[in-house]
Amino acid sequence: MRKILFIILVMAAAILQAKENRWLVNGNHSVQWETSKGELPYNDHIEMSGLRASVVYYWGVDGGRRFSMDRHLVFPMLRTIPNNTHASWMPRCDVDFLKGMTANKRAMSPQQVKVVTIDGILNVSGIVKGDGNDFELMCQFFPSTSKTAVCEKYTIKNIGQKKETVLVPALRWARTTNKQDGTRGSYCLLARTEFEEDFKATLEPGESTSFYCSIQAFALADEREIALDVEQELANRKAYVDEVTMKKLQFRCPDNTIQTLFEMSKIRASESIFHTQNGLMHAPGGESYYAAMWCNDQAEYVNPFFPFLGYDKGNESAMTTWRCYLKLINPEYKFVPWSIICGGDDVFGPFDRGDAAMLAYGASRYCLERGERDIAQQVWPLIEWCLEYCHRRINQNGVVASEGDELEHRLPSGDANLCTSSLYYDALISSAYLAEELGRGKQEAATYRKQAAELRQNIDKFFHATVEGYDTYRYYEGNDVLRSWICIPLTMGIYDRAQGTLQAMFSPQLWTENGMLSQSGDKIFWDRSTLYGFRGAFAAGYADKALEYLKKFSTFRLLGEHVPYVVEAWPEGGQRHLSAESGLYCRIVTEGLLGFRPTGFRSFTLTPQMPTEWNEYSLSNIYACTDQPINISVQRSNGGKLLVKVEKNGKTIKTYKVKPGETVRINAR
């Protein structure tokens, strides 16, 4: 009887979980929602980007399963006046390309949505009715990968019993802005069907046809309408998605949700790269931040991810970051600005957020992972300047002073915060390895390591505190409530207060279904600190606890009500899909679970962890610290040890048996 009762409870729990998850995993990098599941109406938004256009699709399904769409378009190089951080032209367009569609000259009903699928493309499938006959309608929404346009493909299939003639009215709708509102004069937004006369197709039962629409933008003074092959644009978008999901840095593990969110995160992390007059620039997005780069989002969060992925446009955008910031270093050691904006023609940042520490941390890791001497030599002056800047900012307590942190005074951070010193500490360690690779002498590397050792002691001495009953860190002097950024020492290899910090991170004071609150007693959350927290929890050896909460968080982000990526924040920004956060999600695996740390152009250490409920996982096509992609697999072995295999060119080059949390050194030449 007890066994039967247990089975019933397990089944009931499974049913409850299924009801909680509106979406389901639908493949390697795809999620799907059947509109028969979950309450209606339902509304969501998702951002997608190409080199010259981005779009946030605000879409919904009402109580009658009717679909609605409002496109918030962004054109980063059509600048508005005043030309500041937020000056990308961002028009809205709710044109209904299906309006007036008929079957046998009779109006067709609005689409009754049955299934929505997201796989790098927003796919909406449902039924329309006309003249007593049913049709299946598939709508696909996506940005062009290279043009200043977004595209749509519609496929209609006759699933009725009689022949039908379907007609779609030709549409051409244009809007022109005032000349004085744009840096390049008037801009035109053009929404059109790709047929200039009404589209007509006679369909036998079972036959289908497709038609295409687009929305493009251009400056009237020096540009004209371009011809678009939407089918080719769709193929280009699919090719991009396949490249970053199927061919580069593939993660396989027993948890399908985590694996799928990892694969989908690569799409969002890599697509938000824009063509500018100063080269390719990765940008956060979110209907606010385009043709611009930040010391945290780009330099710290996502640039160190691109060498792992081996995505050429990602690496090119990272080099744009370093080149642009190289122009801003100065002999007076005045702080560098937070961001480079307007395609590289302006900057913003009225005070020091610890940006030099962010730059040094990201750039030193990037150069080691990229593994190219000429690249490192180009970037080294920036790293060296940032390290010296931070060294000059060491205060009487032996930690790095800064006027703020990456939250820019949204929350207090005192005169010296835990983030800035932790980032500088890790930058010193990476820079020591890099100095050795560049042949700068043992003394320089030794100096950086000595400074790092002293800083580590001072971090513990100054920031270690009992906060709300937990043996962890205060974020700044005088801080007496838990802050989510107490996790950051764990991601930098500082585990002195790991146990108490983990208890605090996953405590009722901080943890919610949206991850950690930014500080206890508040409602604000920023995914970035939660993602750092997961990475640190795995790296510190708390794999079971990390996995327990990562599963919950990943399920909520991938399969809940707002999908399919991690987000920036709430309430600020309304949980917009900023891009670099998705790179941080992937780094939970590469640097947290696998414990990959670069130590040279062709060398690295691994400190793999294995949750109790897993027996294996793997990463294939890793491009960091190697001239050819490598594969790394980790399997549970006899005696509680882990079998670690490193493969290159189809051959096993290294095999290790280690305890979980034991570090191995690998030369990938």
> How much is the pLDDT for 24?
97
By the 10 Å C-beta count (0-12 exposed, 13-18 middle, 19+ buried), 560 is classed as middle
With b for 16 or more beta-carbon neighbours within 10 A and e for fewer, the 386-407 pattern comes to bbebbbebbeebebbbbbbbbb
Residue 52 CA to residue 275 CA, distance in Å, equals 6
Q: Are 144 and 150 in contact (CB under 8 A)?
A: yes
Instruction: Give the relative orientation of helices 256-271 and 230-246 as an angle to the nearest 10 degrees.
Output: 120
- Is residue 472 helix, strand or coil? strand
pLDDT digits (tens, 9 = 90+) for 410-421: 999 999 999 999
> How much is the pLDDT for 329?
97
Mean pLDDT within 301-308: 98
> How much is the pLDDT for 19?
53
With b for 16 or more beta-carbon neighbours within 10 A and e for fewer, the 169-202 pattern comes to eebeeeeebeeeebbbeebbbbbbbbeeeebebe
Q: Which residue has the tokens 């295999």?
A: 645
The amino acid sitting at 400 is V
pLDDT digits (tens, 9 = 90+) for 465-482: 999 999 999 999 999 999
Task: Give the H/E segment covering residue 447.
Answer: helix 442-463
Mean pLDDT within 60-66: 96
Residue 405 CA to residue 643 CA, distance in Å, equals 41
Mean pLDDT within 201-218: 97
15 has a pLDDT exceeding 50: no
Mean pLDDT within 172-186: 97
Q: Are 451 and 421 in contact (CB under 8 A)?
A: no
Instruction: Give the relative orientation of helices 373-392 and 355-370 as an angle to the nearest 10 degrees.
Output: 160
Average pLDDT, the chain: 95
Mean pLDDT within 332-360: 97
Mean pLDDT within 24-37: 95
> How much is the pLDDT for 18?
44
Instruction: Please write down the HEC assignment for all residues of 521-566.
Output: CCCCEEHHHHHHHHHHHHHCCCHHHHHHHHHHHHHHHHHCCCCCCC
R_g of the chain, CA atoms, integer Å? 26
> How much is the pLDDT for 130?
83
CA distance to 19, 54, 440, 532, 559, per residue, from 261 (Å): 20, 21, 41, 16, 9
- Chain-centroid distance of CA 39 in Å reads 28
pLDDT digits (tens, 9 = 90+) for 305-321: 999 999 999 999 999 99
> How much is the pLDDT for 10?
38
By the 10 Å C-beta count (0-12 exposed, 13-18 middle, 19+ buried), 436 is classed as middle
Q: Are 531 and 522 in contact (CB under 8 A)?
A: no
pLDDT digits (tens, 9 = 90+) for 238-285: 999 999 999 999 999 999 999 999 999 999 999 999 999 999 999 999
Q: Are 420 and 354 in contact (CB under 8 A)?
A: yes
Tell which residue, 382, 283, 367, 370, has the closest CA to residue 323: 382
Q: Which residue has the tokens 């900057």?
A: 347
> How much is the pLDDT for 62?
96
pLDDT digits (tens, 9 = 90+) for 107-164: 999 999 999 999 999 999 999 998 788 999 999 999 999 999 999 999 999 999 999 9
pLDDT digits (tens, 9 = 90+) for 523-550: 999 999 999 999 999 999 999 999 999 9
Q: Is the preceding omega at residue 205 within 30 degrees of 0, hence cis?
A: no
